[in-house]
Structures are given as C-alpha cells and as structure tokens.
Structure 1
Amino acid sequence: MSEDKSTPRILQQQPQRESDPQQQQSGGTDFQSRGQAQGQQQADGKVEGEGSYTATRDYQKNIKDYLDKADVDADAKAAKPRSDAEARDLEAAEREGKSHSRGER
C-alpha cells in the first residue's frame, strides 16, 4: 500500500461529550474540568490562559489594598525569627534553595 507523502496526515481529537464532565485533554496526563480544558473561561466569554491580564489586575489590586490597609511594619515584626536557632535554620533553607536555582547562588 503506497502512502502519498504530499498530503499531510490530519489528526483528529475526540469531541467533548456532554456525559463526561471531565475529559482528558489531548496530550495531557491529567483530567481537567470543562472550563479548564480550553483555558480559563470568563463570564464575558473571553478565554485567558497563562499570563492572564485579569489575574494580573486582581493581584495588583490586592497588593495595593494590603499596603493601604494593613500594618506592614507589624506584619514584618511578626514574621521575624523568634530565636537565633530559627534564624540559622531559615538561612540554611535559603542557601539550600538557592543552590538549586539557576539565578543567584
């Protein structure tokens, strides 16, 4: 049987079934809910994936609200290590994490 090399082979993806609330995405290993299968579906019908403008705006708004309303100095003091031993543990964990990164070492 000869195969025509000039005609590209068309791969078909199985259509989404109404009876299956979770369907495996083509090439994926996890099952995703219907809204996740094609990216994030918004109420206005726009699809946003990685690098979502809406998520960026929400994040920036939440940071601004936190900085306007919260006592940042009190939160910073509460986050300080409670002892020298805890400070050493935190520094060791930071060094360990940096040793695995491509950035600063």
Structure 2
Amino acid sequence: MGTTRNEGEGNKTADRNYRKATKEFVESERGKKEIENAGNVSPSEEQEIRRAEQQAKQRAKDHDPEELSGEEDSSRNSRPAH
C-alpha cells in the first residue's frame, strides 16, 4: 500500500479524478442516454416530487421561528451590515 498525502479541503487529486470520471460518463453512450432522458418523469413520479417538496417546505417552516412569528431574531439586528 502506498503512502497517500492528505490534501485536506480543496483536494486537487480528488477533484481531478472526479472531473475525469464525470467527463468520461458524459461522453459515454450511457451518459448520453441519461442526459437525453433527464427530467422525463411519469405523472406519478411528478406527483411524488411535488408532495416531497411540499413536505420539505412545511418542515422548514415548522423549524424556523422567524417565519412563524414574522419577527427577526434580535441577534441579527445587533450585527453590523456588510
């Protein structure tokens, strides 16, 4: 097993490998077919997507006290504007 260097955040080797694999996929026959069919969903899948979106929005609203009360958090008012 070779020694691998930890490149941390912004890992150039991982980025290079990802970009290469992505390019190869996009240029492959399978990739071209997937791209051509991207966004094509059945009516039942469309319904499920809409339902999931509404559930996610409701959960986000339920957990955001600002949105429920209509008031801003007082700690935000004390921060200087940038």
Report the TM-score range of the alignment, normalised by the length of the smaller protein: 0.3 to 0.5
Larger radius of gyration: 1
TM-score, normalising length: structure 2: 0.47
Higher strand proportion, which one? 1
Higher helix proportion, which one? 2
TM-score, normalising length: structure 1: 0.39
